[in-house]
Amino acid sequence: HRRGQMQLMPELDCSMDYEFNSGVPYFKMRSSVHVKYDTPVQALRNGEVVFARESFSEATWYDPITHQIETREITAEPDLTEWMVPNNTPWLAFFDREKGVGYAGIQLNSMNVGLEGRMRDYNPYLYITTGPWVYWTRALLYPYGSRNPQQMIEVPAETIFLEEWAYLPFELSSNSDDEFEAVKHWTKVVNSPLIIQVVDPTDDRMQVPEEIYLEPEKTGWE
């Protein structure tokens, strides 16, 4: 767990938690961005994953609108090629068919709240971009990537952005019709956890109090 002021930006407090559990191939990440003061921004992002470009050859994600798996080549595209990904995609990944491996991000939760109660009207989205690196991220506010990059958008004081992801290194399935079988399987698992309910133990010797009514024809609720 780490928490503190973002370097060179006293307006922001950030936190990061990683959770590792035995017996499962994924780990979880939780992060937050706390905007302490009214702050104009050109770019505010979170949930970012970065690799050297040569690590993988392709990017992929599940499109919840078309219910199709979208795939894009990384190596053949010029620098700063960008693909928008639906904000509510259940998962996205980088992979390499020759190496037979990939790295997936499985969405668990994303939200923003305002501690001062002012309305927030944002239109976040995910995108993948290339350069000497390749990365995906959630653009919370991103006028810098628009046709008007000098525009500044004010984030109200006491706004908090939250992210929770599961990250999964995986092997591509030998079944070419279902290469991302592992990703789909673990997406279901992490989004449908076992529910554990703790019940206080009771002792058979414990007496149950007997209700006494002053007026027998009435219950204690009358």
Sign, Cα dihedral of 156, 157, 158, 160: positive
How much is the pLDDT for 14? 95
62 neighbors 87 (Cβ within 8 angstroms): no
Phi–psi pair at 195, nearest 5 degrees:
-100, 120
Mapped onto helix, strand or coil, the DSSP state of residue 106 is strand
List Cα–Cα distances, 79 to 7, 53, 71, 75, in angstroms: 28, 10, 18, 10
Give the chain's length.
222
**Rounded CA separation 203/85 (Å):** 55
List Cα–Cα distances, 105 to 7, 109, 117, 171, 209, in angstroms: 26, 12, 31, 14, 54
25 neighbors 39 (Cβ within 8 angstroms): no
> 23 CB contacts (<8 Å, ≥6 apart)?
none
- pTM confidence score: 0.83
**Rounded CA separation 15/20 (Å):** 17
How much is the pLDDT for 170? 98
pLDDT, tens digit, for every residue of 213-222?
Answer: 666 666 656 5
Question: Would you give the end-to-end CA distance of the chain in angstroms?
Answer: 52
Looking at residue 37, its amino acid is Y
How much is the pLDDT for 36? 94
Which residues does the chain have with pLDDT short of 70?
118-121, 208, 211-222
List Cα–Cα distances, 49 to 46, 107, 165, 209, in angstroms: 9, 13, 11, 58
What are the extents of the domains in the chain? 2-190
Closest C-alpha among 110, 139, 132, 118 to residue 31? 110
